[in-house]
Amino acid sequence: MRLVNSFTGCMLAGLLLTATACKKEAPAPPLEGKWQYQGSTEFTYSKQGAFLTQNPSWQSMHSVRIGAGMFDFVSVDNIVTLHLTYTREGNTLHLLPLYPSGNEGLITKLTDHSLVLRFNTVYANPTTEARTDVENRYIR
């Protein structure tokens, strides 16, 4: 009887492991689409890279329209104010021509309805050599 119970227990455990191992991951949400700006946060770092401050920030209302290799900043009256192209490697967007903050944006969050992009060294203080990164939040 013990042998049967042990065998049954091993079979159940094997079935559970097989079922969880075959579980498919949901596909990543698409980056492409129109994203409405919600706000920004600025992060300031010293010349040595030590974190100094974190403050809310606000840019003019806009949206971004992202298509295959196309990244447009669009004003509230639907005028493209900055047209960029991009390539994507994982969560890094390489923006061309150079975006004012450099040429990379990091996707820190991407869901069906939310996008957070972080741009490094948006501002650099020539006196203190501190740098400020900006994180923009969008919804659709």
Query: In whole angstroms, what is the distance from residue 68 CA to residue 118 CA?
Result: 20
pLDDT at position 56 is: 95
In this structure, what are the phi and psi dihedrals at residue 19, rounded to the nearest 5 degrees? -65, -40
Query: In whole angstroms, what is the distance from residue 3 CA to residue 11 CA?
Result: 12
Nearest of 55, 51, 79 to residue 65 by alpha carbon: 79
Query: In whole angstroms, what is the distance from residue 1 CA to residue 66 CA?
Result: 64
pLDDT at position 100 is: 59
pLDDT at position 64 is: 94
Domains of the chain, each with CATH number or no CATH: 33-139 (2.40.160)
Q: Give yes or no for a contact between 35 and 66, defined as CB atoms under 8 angstroms apart.
A: yes
pLDDT tens digit at each of 140 positions of the chain: 554 455 555 454 554 445 555 567 888 899 999 999 999 999 999 989 899 999 998 878 899 999 999 999 999 899 998 899 999 999 999 988 866 556 789 999 999 999 999 988 777 788 888 888 999 999 99
- Let me know if 135 is exposed, middle or buried by CB neighbors in 10 A (0-12, 13-18, 19+): buried
